[in-house]
Chain A
Amino acid sequence: MIAYLTAIVTLVGVRALLTLGLNVQWGLTGLVNLGVVAFFAVGAYTSALLAVGGVSLLLAWPAGVVLAAAAGAGLSVVALRLREDYLAIVTLGFAEVLRLFLLNEAWLTRGANGITAIPRPLHERFGDHYQLFYLVLVLLAVALVYAALERVRRSPFGRVLRAIREDEVVAAVAGKPVFRFKVQAFALGAGVAGLAGVLFAHYLEYVEPNMFLPQESLFVWLALILGGSGNNRGALLGSLVLLGLLEGSRFVKDMIPFLTGVRLAAAQQILVGVVLVVMMVRRPEGLLPEKPGSE
């Protein structure tokens, strides 16, 4: 039971990072990223490949974060030039194409077999308590990212992002270089998703392309919308509630006998979709609404 809880909370921590990253993009700045999972994958694969190639984790981990942020910057520069709604399409397409790339370019990514034996940091030192150590590591990362993003949100930079979200014409008239701010915000969010990927890969010691299906992006969206977009506490709460939804529906299986595996998975995803739409329609501010004009 302890092992189960440790594992679950570690994965919630990873999801919380993804949600915090999306909150910078959508919650603060109003940028639609439908390919959250792609930046997660870039972080995971970059770090995993470097690490199994013998590169020190001290280099591999930052490389995963930096490459994810760079991918975010590049994509947003292309997509945001004309219409913002192209960003939604470009990020969705990027996630799909990246997954195809991971599946087919086996010379680099080992294809469908995935990457195994990804080294874990400080494995020898903690021995039997390793799971606990990693949980603390992930929670520490969440706490640090949360604190940093709270600072960002209250900073002049964060105020500009929220101004852009509310009315970018006004922000532009006030002399803010809107395009540059948007690209920076998008890259920052992508970098946080990359960090989540790094922690995920080295926790499982294994990654493969089907861990990065499009529905994972939707789960992150649901967590953010549930918790309340625009505020970082909401992002954390949403990740927890999402866990309840996903894990809880797993237990339902034992109660309803005629649910086959496919049906159960489909029902779970219907639930996720319905909750997302209902929240968007009925309570777009989420469970923990952003305080108006908050600092």
Chain B
Amino acid sequence: MPPIAQYVFNGIVTGGILALPAVAFSLLWRLLRFPNFAVSTYLTVGAYAALVLNADAHAPLEVAWLGALGATGVVALVADRVAFRPMRARRPFSLAIASIGVAFVLENVVRFVWGNDFRAYDLPVTRAASVAGLRVGREQLMILGVVVVLMALAQAFLLRTRLGIAMRATADNPLLAAVKGVPTDRVIAVATFGGGALAGAAGVFLGLDASIDPLMGGGIIISVFAAAILGGIGSAPGAFAGAMIVGIVEEAGTLLVPPTYKTAIGFAIILAVLLVRPSGLAGSRA
């Protein structure tokens, strides 16, 4: 049996993949005031977009990955225009239901076109390196590196750019921000595209780390929620830390419970946070 350190390492990789949709989900929730259940399905969209570019059009995976980012961002924008924008003034829960409908449509469009089979990217097979007794895949290191860069970029965007600051202002108080001249619609469009792109990027990583099938995104929805809630809704660093914890606990947890119960571990984390510290680790106002 591999040492515990191996589980922790795998958990860090899983956590890195979870971090991207968790940040997107958390920030969009704070900005638009509803939990968008379609975010995890955006992973599926990204994974298949890259599959088309990589396996069908024979583009290198790096190029396919960039294409997946753009394609998923556009899909998220279209979903927002068609479903969410006309409902902005409605009760937030109505939007949550509509987002479930959107997720359902997207997942089944993928199923309609590509079927239920498991797919994989067209990649040269590489041997996992052995570092200090740990099996470390080349893709795993690449995923971690890219995730760290993307997280740093997202945080820099939120803290340093005019648009990022406008986004946080709108999340805090949309009316005041609008009165002060923040172009609310543009802010929302940028956040929606960015959130979709982050989730799409994670979808390709998930496809690399596990496999590609229509349920892949929906299958991690509870883990994504657990990460966002653990981190405190609206906090990007919180969601990142939450994702790392959820990833590690889920992987290491398979030492104690059967792997089929991974989802249950995420669910247990959600319940524990709600019971013990409902505002999450970052403790931002929920």
Q: Does B94 have its Cβ within 8 Å of any Cβ on chain A?
A: yes
Task: Give B contacts to A, CB under 8 Å.
Answer: 29, 34-35, 37, 82-83, 86-87, 90-94, 96-98, 100-105, 108-109, 111-112, 115-116, 218, 221-222, 225, 229, 258, 260-261, 263-264, 266-267, 270-271, 274-275, 278-279, 286
The answer to whether B105 touches A280 (Cβ under 8 A) is: no
Q: Does A69 have its Cβ within 8 Å of any Cβ on chain B?
A: no
Not counting A78-B271, A273-B105, a sample of 11 additional A-B residue pairs whose C-beta atoms are within 8 angstroms of each other reads A30-B93, A34-B37, A82-B274, A89-B229, A100-B264, A262-B115, A273-B108, A276-B98, A277-B98, A280-B97, A284-B94
Instruction: Please name the 9 residue pairs, one residue from A and one from B, whose CB atoms are nearest each other, closest first.
Output: A273-B105, A273-B104, A276-B101, A266-B112, A82-B278, A93-B267, A266-B111, A277-B101, A269-B108
A-B contact pairs, 14 of them (CB 8 A): A78-B274, A85-B34, A85-B35, A88-B35, A90-B270, A97-B267, A262-B116, A273-B101, A274-B105, A276-B100, A277-B82, A277-B83, A280-B87, A281-B98
Interface string of A258-278 (1 = CB under 8 A from B): 000011011101101110110
B165 to chain A, nearest CB (A): 26
Task: Give A contacts to B, CB under 8 Å.
Answer: 26, 30, 32, 34, 78-79, 81-86, 88-90, 92-94, 96-97, 100-101, 103-104, 214-215, 218, 221, 225, 262-263, 265-267, 269-270, 272-274, 276-277, 280-281, 284
Report A-chain residues with C-beta under 8 Å of the C-beta of B229: 86, 89
Report B-chain residues with C-beta under 8 Å of the C-beta of A104: 258, 260-261
Given contacts A97-B264, A280-B87, contact A89 B104 (CB under 8 A): no
Query: CA of A51 to CA of B253 in the docked complex: distance in angstroms?
Result: 35
Given contacts A263-B112, A266-B112, A277-B83, contact A93 B270 (CB under 8 A): yes
Query: CA of A32 to CA of B263 in the docked complex: distance in angstroms?
Result: 21
Query: When A and B form their complex, what is the total count of cross-chain residue pairs whose Cβ atoms lie within 8 Å?
Result: 127
